[in-house]
A = this chain, B = another copy of it.
Amino acid sequence: MSPRRSAEVTWPTDAELNILQVLWERGACTVREVHETLYGNDGAGYTTALKLMQIMHSKGLVDRDDSQRAHIYRSAISRQRTQKRFLADMVQRLFNGSPSQMVLHALGNHPGASREELKEIRALLNKIEIEGG
């Protein structure tokens, strides 16, 4: 049993994840756009967002186009892969390595799934069952 997070890989921190979410949602953004979206008036200051995004750039979490005065940032890691990593980590740390257990919890806590979503989930279940023999 070794549920510790590997230190070799760079995990986006909480603040970084928030920024990535904005970049994934809206595509390429300036610091200002991210700041407005995320922190608005009451939240952290502009330079905080700037600093975070500079650090993210140095870490390789985002790409940057600095040909204009206001640099344009875009995510350098895919949403999918990031979701997958966090999911796997959580399954490991909280659900004894069993994704199914996690799914059951997630569905159990979410009775409001739409008919369309349920259909999708069923379809995926069928696919898994057939492939798995």
A residues whose Cβ falls under 8 Å from a Cβ of B: 1, 3-5, 14, 17-18, 21, 25, 37-38, 43, 79-80, 82-84, 86-88, 90-91, 93-96, 98-115, 117-118, 120-122, 124-125, 128-129, 131-133
The distance from the CB of A87 to the nearest CB of chain B, in whole angstroms, is 6
| In contact, A109 and B84 (Cβ under 8 angstroms) | yes
| In contact, A124 and B99 (Cβ under 8 angstroms) | no
| In contact, A93 and B21 (Cβ under 8 angstroms) | yes
Are A14 and B21 also in contact (CB < 8 A) when A112-B132, A131-B111, A132-B113 are? Answer: no
The distance from the CB of A114 to the nearest CB of chain B, in whole angstroms, is 7
Rank and list the top 8 A-B pairs by shortest CB-CB distance, nearest first. Answer: A100-B117, A99-B110, A99-B106, A100-B113, A103-B103, A83-B94, A107-B124, A103-B106
Inter-chain CA distance A103–B82, complex, in Å, is 15
